[in-house]
Chains A and B, each alone.
Chain A
Amino acid sequence: MGNNPFSLVGKTILVTGASSGIGRSTAIECSRLGAKLIITARNETRLRETFESLEGNDHLQVIADVTKSEDMACLVQSIPPLDGFVCNAGITKRKPINFVNENDLREIFEVNAFASILLTKALAKAKKFNRGASLVFTSSKAAKIVTVGNSMYAASKAAIESFARSCAVEFASKGIRSNAILPGMVETPLVSGGMLSEEEMEQDKARYLLKRYGKPEEVAWAIVFLLSDASTWITAISLDISGGGRFVK
């Protein structure tokens, strides 16, 4: 096929939160493009399902709760140097501000922000990012455009969007790129948690130019692009992936 800048052949890529949704889809799409994957998540059964769906050999799965420092240390030690890092693990909980409580807030920030930042730091410190590596952080459209009941999640995703830019600045001298992706509503277990009624979901879909929610692989393909050599002059951006969601309110 000759030179294909979109190929991931020869790249080693770590994906967190790979047991479902965008993370799972990203791992699978990366494997199809030839990458060697290291996938991690808390849930052993679901992570194994992802692992078994990967194409090609030589992939690695590591059960880890990235909010636990010992799990994180173990993960960092056990993996080879990386050409790509998809920092994707995330959780959500919808509650109006009047019902925000410290436990929920801490739990959401623990996974979405603290663990992401600390894992990135640990990987960098352990020199696990190869020169020219690409870091992709799963933020959310919610970091910019908020809806009722989403304050905790939105704030945590705004934190990670900003952190992605800081990585771009501090790691640029090593040729490392860092970008955030801001997906709109994607049909994943995270959004089908029952917090929106079917009628509300239909109304919400109508606000997107393409009149539908995204599929996990549609986000994964954008992540693949950011991981590939096709995007070697792209760093410190926040990529909106939302079927034109931003234009209609």
Chain B
Amino acid sequence: MVEIKDFIKNFAEQFDETEFEMITAETEFHELEDYSSLVALSVIAMIDEIYGVIIGANEMKSSVTVCDLFNKVVAKLNNGK
């Protein structure tokens, strides 16, 4: 079972400066000061490594909140079953 709270923790770990507490499911992550192409690639790599799902750059771009991204991961996991 994939939990959003774990996902948020894994997501937050990809940031150097942004504190974990600052990130919630509703955070519009593209607006975070610390967000960069390296963070985006790290999130993509984290999702691949931990969830075994490939998220493309365009899907990252079209996700506004952390929850949007989580939902895409869940949808892909369900499709894979």
Contacts and interface: CB of A to CB of B under 8 A. Distances in A.
B23 interface: no
B58 interface: yes
Interface of B: 37-38, 41-42, 44-46, 48-49, 56-58, 60-61
A198 B67 CA distance: 22
B37 to A, nearest CB: 6
B61 A197 contact: yes
A197 B60 contact: yes
A99 B37 contact: no
Interface stretch (A67-75, A90-98, A163-171, A232-240): A90-98
A199 interface: yes
B41 to A, nearest CB: 4
A148 B57 contact: no
A194 interface: yes
A197 B58 contact: yes
Nearest to B44: A195
Contacts of B48: 99
Tell me which of B37, B38, B41, B49 has the highest count of chain A C-beta atoms within 10 A of its own C-beta. B41
B48 to A, nearest CB: 8
A100 B48 CA distance: 12
Interface of A: 94-96, 98-99, 101, 148-149, 194-200
Tell me which of B42, B44, B48, B57 has the highest count of chain A C-beta atoms within 10 A of its own C-beta. B57
A149 B61 contact: no
Contact of A149 (B41, B46, B58, B60): B41
Consensus secondary structure, chain A interface: loop
Given A99-B46, A197-B57, 19 more contacts: A96-B38, A96-B41, A96-B45, A98-B45, A99-B42, A99-B45, A148-B37, A148-B38, A148-B41, A149-B38, A149-B41, A149-B45, A194-B57, A194-B58, A195-B56, A196-B57, A197-B56, A197-B58, A200-B57
Contacts of B46: 99
A99 B45 CA distance: 6
5 contacts: A99-B46, A194-B56, A195-B56, A197-B56, A200-B37
A174 B14 CA distance: 53
A199 B61 contact: yes
Contacts of B60: 197
Contact of A99 (B49, B56, B57): B49
Nearest to A147: B37
Nearest to B61: A197
